[in-house]
A = this chain, B = another copy of it.
Amino acid sequence: MKIGQATIKDIAQELNVSASTVSRALKDYPGISDETKRKVKEVAKKLNYRPNAIALSLRKSRSFTIGVIIPEVVHFFFSTVISGIEEVASSRGYNVILSQTNESFAREKSSIDTMLSNQIDGFLVSFSKGTTDFEHFTKLLDYGYPIVFFDRIPEIPNAISVMVDDYRGAYNATSHLISQGYTKIAHLAGPSNLSISKEREKGYRDALTNHGMKVHPELIIECAYGTNDEGFKVTEDLLKNGKIKPDALFANNDMAAVGAMLAFKSMGFKIPEEVGIVGFSNWQFCAIIEPSLSSVSQPGFKMGETATQMLLDMIEQKLDPASITAPIVLETELLVRKSSVK
């Protein structure tokens, strides 16, 4: 009495033909009379026949399902990426199975394991902050298993990845602050084991240097969590105890930027008149807070789309992984709002 239970055999029985004939008739194979094809299709429709994808997967060792490994779902950028992934996957007839690691290495590994048992056709991965050992990925890559990394990309050979131009985004953001006349620009950096953090910091440093300004290491502070509170605390601490008082700040992410903004405000600084701030990611709230927060927008949706297209092309052998030698880089856009314009 279960749903969609009509099988090829049921159709076969009803018409007194063999299962093979039904299978071929449904797929318009040659060697089946038009008459039979007609009848088979008719009965199939009558019985509401729906091919059993599981049986198909078993036969073909293909599941038409891709696995997405992501640190957290409740995150504006990542949810945007997921959205892009889902759009492309479903339009190309693939299912998306989702697993969030909550930034835990152990969960990342076990997720991959269970997905492998489910005969996933390929992986879309943004690894967790806790991941420093990449053997579970390299092993798969060695076997030729299709994987596309996005946003957080590993430093391993032959890995296919899609990223945004973090360096240039950070460079532009910092240059913008400089052009506005701010002179002592601090940086709230991200976790140092993520390449995106390093790239952003490098962009920040190079922008200063290229504009003839000095880089003060004490103005670069790592925010491991990237939360509102953390941004507030480190900024407050910097203002109270630091030797150099910054008059601007470029943050690795928007949440930290907001925290910093609140800290500056609570210490009596006026934004943007006295202090300029720029964030990264362009979360939804950037436009609606007071003052509105300038930010580097990342094309999350496009990243999801691009990564998925590539993965599916690899799965369907339309794309040779060896032909991709460098990460795909998507451009960012600096959205200048009130928080950084004097």
Stretch from A137-145, A193-201, A317-325 forming part of the interface with B: A137-145
State A82–B290 Cα separation when bound (angstroms).
Answer: 30
The minimal Cβ–Cβ distance linking A22 to chain B, given in whole angstroms, is 17
Task: Please judge, given known A-B contacts A3-B116, A73-B79, whether A97 and B55 are in contact too, CB under 8 Å.
Answer: no
Q: Which residue of B lies closest to A93 (CB)?
A: B114
State A188–B287 Cα separation when bound (angstroms).
Answer: 21
**A288 to B258, Cβ gap below 8 A?**
yes
Number of copies: 2
Whether a CB of chain B sits under 8 angstroms from the CB of A224 is no
The minimal Cβ–Cβ distance linking A35 to chain B, given in whole angstroms, is 28
**B83 to A74, Cβ gap below 8 A?**
yes
B-contacting residues, A11-54, CB 8 Å: 50-54
State A233–B339 Cα separation when bound (angstroms).
Answer: 25
The minimal Cβ–Cβ distance linking A331 to chain B, given in whole angstroms, is 21
State A93–B114 Cα separation when bound (angstroms).
Answer: 9
**B54 to A58, Cβ gap below 8 A?**
yes
The minimal Cβ–Cβ distance linking A251 to chain B, given in whole angstroms, is 13
The minimal Cβ–Cβ distance linking A231 to chain B, given in whole angstroms, is 11
**A97 to B99, Cβ gap below 8 A?**
no
Whether a CB of chain B sits under 8 angstroms from the CB of A4 is yes
Which chain B residues border A113 with CB–CB below 8 Å? Answer: 50
Task: Please judge, given known A-B contacts A54-B63, A117-B52, A289-B288, whether A83 and B72 are in contact too, CB under 8 Å.
Answer: yes
Whether a CB of chain B sits under 8 angstroms from the CB of A65 is yes
Whether a CB of chain B sits under 8 angstroms from the CB of A228 is yes
B-contacting residues, A274-306, CB 8 Å: 283-285, 287-290
State A118–B94 Cα separation when bound (angstroms).
Answer: 11
**B83 to A119, Cβ gap below 8 A?**
no
**A58 in complex: contacting residue of B55, B116, B117, B258, CB < 8 Å:** B55
Whether a CB of chain B sits under 8 angstroms from the CB of A98 is yes
**B100 to A86, Cβ gap below 8 A?**
yes
Which chain B residues border A54 with CB–CB below 8 Å? Answer: 54, 57-58, 63, 118-119
Which chain B residues border A93 with CB–CB below 8 Å? Answer: 114
**B53 to A117, Cβ gap below 8 A?**
yes
Whether a CB of chain B sits under 8 angstroms from the CB of A172 is no
**B290 to A3, Cβ gap below 8 A?**
no
The minimal Cβ–Cβ distance linking A274 to chain B, given in whole angstroms, is 17
**A74 to B63, Cβ gap below 8 A?**
no
Q: Which residues of A contact B (CB under 8 A)?
A: 1-4, 50-55, 57-58, 61, 63, 65, 72-76, 79-80, 82-83, 86, 90, 93, 95-100, 107, 111, 113-119, 139-140, 143-145, 228, 258, 262, 283-285, 287-290
